[in-house]
Amino acid sequence: MFLPRIIAKARAMRAGELPREYAVRFGAASGVDGLFLGFFSLSADQITEAAAGDDAAVEKWFEGVPGATPQRIREWNHTAVNLGRPGFPMADRLPIAPTSKYSHLANRGIETIFQMLNADEETAAAEAPPIPGGTAPEITLLRAAYAAFNARDIDAALATMTPDVAWPMAFKGGFVRGPEEIRAYWTEQWGEIDPHVEPVAFYPEEGGRILVDVHQVVRDGAGALLADVHVGHRFTLSHGLIRAMEISELPSG
């Protein structure tokens, strides 16, 4: 837990895309970045250098970090989800945060640091205007991916993705990685259900990610309606291609 988040920030830093207020505090000992780095005896420079590789390379690198043993990773995961609770790191800071930088999250019943960070990101996405006209190159790419998916043109859809792309198995759980695993997953999925996904709005987020409000209609093989909902798709892009997608909650309001 948290490795993907800090790697995304490090990649944004390398690309000069991390907002200055975050860049100047990247890896600061008093923040979550610093806690993570200190827990595994890493430096900000090491994580930034590792972020130059693709996700597979990062995973391999982290597996080789001396302090990243399975036991230490389990200990960190337990600590991370409880940051801010009594008896855990940052317990003294959580009550103060809603009175300062995170005043907009006061009275939200937030109990942990990660709940606060996630709520802050959701609020920012809700307040950010959609990318004007949806005509930026990134939006053109995402629209092409959705159109190819709806047309069942797997090759065209895969052409919008990096070789190490990570994709969620929305109806089964977990992720698949790489074009061939996605091809197999979609082929199986389309044999069971008939999904149609239409992007409605695109919202820029920190680190170059884009949250998409998607109108999703799912029917069974006989055409009976199974679902008609709006869902959130959060995309991470790299060099003009989709590097990862994850299912996300849409901002309230």
Question: Which of the two residues, 27 and 21, has the higher pLDDT score?
Answer: 27
* Mean pLDDT over each residue of the chain, to the nearest integer: 84
Q: What is the pLDDT of residues 175-200, one digit of tens each?
A: 999 999 999 999 999 999 999 999 98
- Taking a C-beta distance cutoff of 8 angstroms, is the pair 179, 158 a contact? yes
Domain boundaries, given as residue ranges, for the chain: 3-127, 132-248
CA–CA separation, 126 and 136 (whole Å):
19
Interval 46-66 mean pLDDT: 88
pLDDT band at 133 (very low <50, low <70, confident <90, very high): very low
CATH architecture of the domain covering 132-248: Roll (3.10)
Q: What is the pLDDT of residues 190-243, one digit of tens each?
A: 999 999 999 988 888 877 789 999 999 999 988 899 999 999 999 999 888 999
**125 pLDDT more than 70:** no
Q: What is the pLDDT of residues 150-178, one digit of tens each?
A: 999 999 999 999 999 999 998 777 899 99
User: What pLDDT score does 233 carry?
Assistant: 95
Interval 57-68 mean pLDDT: 88
**132 pLDDT more than 50:** no
Distance from the first to the final alpha carbon of the chain = 28
User: What pLDDT score does 10 carry?
Assistant: 86
CA–CA separation, 169 and 160 (whole Å):
18
DSSP, collapsed to helix, strand or coil, labels residue 19 as: coil
**pTM value?**
0.52
- Taking a C-beta distance cutoff of 8 angstroms, is the pair 51, 11 a contact? yes
CA–CA separation, 212 and 233 (whole Å):
5
CA–CA separation, 237 and 207 (whole Å):
10
CA–CA separation, 92 and 85 (whole Å):
9
Q: For residue 183, which phi and psi values (nearest 5 degrees)? A: -60, -45
Q: What is the pLDDT of residues 138-151, one digit of tens each?
A: 888 999 999 999 99
- Report the DSSP beta bridge partners of residue 210: 204, 235
**Sign of the Cα pseudo-torsion (33, 37, 42, 43, in order):** positive
Angle at 10 between CA 6 and CA 14, to 5 degrees: 170
